[in-house]
């Protein structure tokens, strides 16, 4: 059996984009899994504090070692940031301060896109979002995508709703027609997260970038998320949801083990199909998909 590499999956998805316009529709609920920012003050500890210190260090406001502890030095640096941005000087990382952090970085695109067929491509391999007009690249933005355990859903979607949101969504929300959960493109008040695998599956942009994109897109705008749907190599078990489950279901259907709908939800039918595949291929019959199942189905290469 010929195995598909990550590069082959990317090529397949690009071909789908160029030759297929069918997409899945759905009504998105009002919230995704991304957590809102919380108020942080003296004594707090964690990776977010370390990232804040690095940011303030780059702004020449914090001059100590990166400790990950919100100490007195960090408090003074936050006060200096608040003073610079004409905020109430509290030394606490409160919501107005988070908002100011979120507006501190942007990609400069001076013009609006010309008339034409506008669509979005999110490349999960290169952590970038491309705006295409009549198949020509008009603008490129850096993004953050989902963590390996909460991957961004690869596939062809459409914008189904838009909103001026706040908290974990930065300043704008662009909802996508993913059928197995609530996913979207939104801003972030953590500019240091851009260019990383950081989210719960949504696509993050700098706030000022997503504000531009928000003006350009409309409900119905195509959004193609490309890349390896199995990049996370996560173990798939009953109850999981995602594009990797969707492609697993497609593969099981191709192999003749699955005859139900392709919905990206690992339910009873998918579990039974996996068990049947395992039994026929002399694998441990667990109903779960791990490394052996991925390679035996030809979903990933033997790396």
- Please give the positions annotated as active site: 186, 202
**245-250 long-range CB contacts below 8 Å, 24 or more apart?**
245/180, 245/270, 246/153, 246/155, 246/180, 247/154, 247/299, 248/274, 248/289, 248/297, 248/299, 249/273
Burial class (CB in 10 A: 0-12, 13-18, 19+), 137: exposed
- From residue 214, how far is each of 34, 45, 94, 184, 262 by CA, in Å? 19, 35, 26, 12, 30
Residues 157/23, Cβ–Cβ less than 8 Å = yes
- From residue 179, how far is each of 13, 145, 183 by CA, in Å? 18, 18, 9
Residues 50/190, Cβ–Cβ less than 8 Å = no
Sole residue written with tokens 């993913």: 178
Residues 128 and 138: their CA atoms lie apart, in Å, by 13
Structure tokens at 253: 């259907």
Residues 2 and 25: their CA atoms lie apart, in Å, by 33
Q: Phi and psi at residue 123, in whole multiples of 5°?
A: -100, 105
């Amino acid at each position: 059996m010929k195995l598909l590499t990550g590069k082959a999956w990317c090529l397949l998805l690009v071909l789908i984009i160029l030759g297929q316009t069918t997409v899945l529709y759905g009504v998105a609920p009002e919230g995704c899994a991304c957590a809102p920012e919380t108020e942080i003050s003296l004594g707090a500890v964690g990776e977010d504090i370390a990232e804040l210190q690095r940011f303030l260090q780059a702004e020449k406001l914090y001059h100590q070692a990166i400790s990950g502890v919100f100490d007195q030095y960090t408090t003074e640096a936050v006060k200096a940031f608040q003073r610079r941005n004409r905020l109430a000087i509290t030394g606490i990382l409160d919501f107005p301060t988070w908002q100011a952090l979120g507006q501190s970085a942007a990609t400069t695109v001076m013009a609006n896109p010309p008339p034409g067929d506008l669509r979005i491509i999110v490349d999960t391999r290169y952590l970038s979002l491309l705006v295409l007009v009549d198949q020509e690249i008009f603008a490129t933005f850096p993004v953050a995508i989902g963590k390996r355990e909460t991957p961004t859903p690869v596939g062809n979607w459409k914008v189904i709703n838009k909103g001026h949101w706040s908290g974990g969504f930065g300043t704008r929300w662009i909802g996508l027609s993913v059928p197995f959960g609530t996913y979207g493109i939104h801003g972030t008040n953590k500019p240091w997260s851009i260019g990383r695998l950081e989210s719960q599956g949504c696509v993050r942009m700098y706030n000022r970038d997503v504000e531009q994109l928000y003006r350009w897109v409309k409900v119905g705008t195509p959004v193609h998320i490309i890349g390896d749907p199995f990049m996370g190599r996560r173990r798939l078990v009953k109850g999981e949801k995602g594009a990797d489950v969707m492609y697993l279901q497609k593969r099981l259907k191709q192999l003749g083990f699955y005859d139900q709908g392709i919905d990206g939800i690992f339910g009873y039918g998918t579990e039974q199909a996996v068990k049947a595949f395992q039994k026929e291929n002399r694998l441990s019959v667990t109903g779960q998909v791990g490394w052996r199942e991925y390679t035996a189905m030809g979903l990933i290469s033997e790396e």
